[in-house]
Amino acid sequence: MTAPVFLVDGVDLSAAIEGALIALTGAEGRHAATVRRIRPGERVDVADGAGVIAECVVTEAGAGRVELRVQARRQVPAPEPRIVVVQALPKGDRAELATETMTEVGVDVIVPWAAERCVARWPAGDRADKALARWRSAAREAAKQARRSRIPDVTGLASTADVAARIERAAAAVVLEPGAGAALSRLDLPGHGDVVLVVGPEGGVSPGELAAFTAAGAHPARLGESVLRTSTAGAAAAAVLMSRTGRW
């Protein structure tokens, strides 16, 4: 059984030497002490979300606070290639589901995309900020559950032009298309750089969007015989990419 992972903000774990003390407070402290019921003597890992992990032992546990002593520290290298999923906005709470499952699979960057045929829309202003915050919170919590050392980068809302520009900079790019001749599981993929995967909305990628993405260098590919919901297709396709690139 691997040790549970907790995330700390505002603490420089890269400077945490053996024997140093770290305190979990706030939401993480409450979760550790009250929900997980962490007790003195137990092993836990503390991560900064950017690849640094401190292996710790609990020294004290109280109401909403857990004190840890560092036993060792390690830096987890950034994985290669980097898996970037451009996710068309799903409806309702399926956005959080998509973010959670992609994080659990190991996706490195999640790009919310305002596709032409999306039913869901992010209005400007505070409501858009709140929607993005929900995606980022889902990624953070899923990263802890999956015991990841790195939290996926959830970017701001992208337009189709933004996505095309990201495809042009990528080492490889794929657009999921149910009717494509090529199978995702058979594509040749690079060992380094960004591999961009575009997941369309329930109504599919529009002809104009597909033309823009292929012109930028993306290859249409099918995932399988069945058509998955947009909220689950990203995680399923990312799992294929993880296997094809040797990350799994």
We report the CATH number of the domain holding residue 89 as 3.40.1280.10
Same domain, 111 and 181: yes
Same domain, 50 and 147: no
Same domain, 22 and 133: no
* Band of pLDDT at residue 68, cut at 50, 70 and 90: very high
Same domain, 141 and 204: yes
Question: How many folded domains does the chain comprise?
Answer: 2
Same domain, 97 and 182: yes
User: Residues 217-227: what's their mean pLDDT?
Assistant: 93
We report the CATH number of the domain holding residue 69 as 2.40.240.20
Same domain, 59 and 182: no
Cβ neighbours, 10 Å, residue 224: 14
- What range defines the domain where residue 179 resides? 82-244
> 121: helix, coil or strand?
coil
Q: What is the pLDDT of residues 227-239, one digit of tens each?
A: 899 999 999 999 9
Q: What Rg, from alpha-carbon coordinates, does the chain have?
A: 20
Are the C-beta atoms of residues 155 and 110 closer than 8 Å to each other? Answer: yes
Nearest to 103 by CA among 235, 207, 208: 235
Same domain, 36 and 97: no
**Domain end among 45, 75, 105:** 75
Reply yes or no on whether the pLDDT at 1 is more than 80: no
* Residue 181, both tokens: 């001749």
* Band of pLDDT at residue 9, cut at 50, 70 and 90: confident
pLDDT number for residue 132 = 95
